[in-house]
Amino acid sequence: MRTRTKAAVGIGAAVVVVGGVVAIFGPGWYADRAEDAADEPTLSASAAPADGTDSSGTWAVSDGSFAGYRVDEVLQGEDVTVTGRTEDVTGQVTLAEGEVTEASIEVKVATIATDSERRDGYFRDNAIQAEEFPTASFELTEPATLGEGATEVELVGDLTVRGETRPVTVDAEVGGDGASALQVVGSVPVTFADFGIEAPNLGFVSVEDTGSVEFSLELVKG
């Protein structure tokens, strides 16, 4: 569910990464590395609405899950979107009587990857400071009701990135069979300054002050 916001942590750091890479390798190299951004996460076609009635219990994040960031920038006058993702996501979600009562998600930020190894290296070492802050996380702070026959849910909780914790509201969708498998996808807007990150503006490239953390979680019971 909105737990994916945990991944949000990666977004802020990525902004700084972009600036560092450009400064070191120059605008030509940076432009050559731009690739199409990954699609936004969505529920699989087979994921029916989960009403929560048969879903009570603890669900664990499993294989096929991912989390990361999406950020927009202007590179030499052209709009560019950058996405970074990792499958190193762990955590648990608890459902009871049609509500999400607990959610704790953790993302290993050092493995968040874009289309550029150099950008990712700067992201790990300088922007997100992965050695000191190896994970980003999301903790649900308020119960969230799963409406019958609906997939949308708002998850209110704390997002922690690079040691800074901020309250967030995650717009998520939940689907699955409600018995053995659930999928939760979503994103949360992030302002980089809230996590102590300054979006770079180097003339030929400028990064927006905001971005988003996005995720897709495959959950199994137990």
Cβ neighbours of residue 46 closer than 8 Å, sequence gap 6 or more: none
Dihedral (Cα; 126, 127, 133, 134), 10-degree rounding: -90
Task: Work out how many domains the chain is built from and give that number.
Answer: 1
Residue 133 binned pLDDT confidence (cut-offs 50, 70, 90): very high
Q: Please, what is the average pLDDT of the chain?
A: 78
Q: Is residue 209 part of a domain?
A: no
Residue with the larger pLDDT of the pair 17 and 168: 168
DSSP 3-state of 35: coil
The answer, yes or no, to whether residue 17 has pLDDT greater than 70, is no
| Range picked from 150-159, 160-169, 202-211 for highest mean pLDDT | 160-169
Residue 99 φ/ψ region, left for φ over 0, alpha for ψ in the -120 to 50 degree band, beta for the rest: beta
Q: Is residue 64 part of a domain?
A: yes
In a domain? residue 49? yes
Residue 149 lies in a domain: yes
Closest CA to 65 of 1, 153, 136, 152: 1
- Residue 175 sits in a domain whose CATH number is 2.40.128.110
Instruction: Convert the pLDDT of each residue in 46-98 to its tens digit.
Output: 555 555 446 889 999 999 999 999 988 776 677 788 899 999 999 999 999 88
> Among 86, 98, 62, 74, which residue's Cα sits nearest to residue 15?
74
If you count them, how many residues does the chain have? 222
**Distance, CA of 88 to CA of 202 (rounded, Å):** 32
Digit-coded pLDDT (tens) for 179-220:
678 999 999 998 878 887 766 555 655 667 788 999 999 999
Residue 174 falls inside a structural domain: yes
pTM for the full model? 0.78
Tell me which residue range forms the domain holding 48: 2-197+214-221
Residue 113 placed within a domain: yes
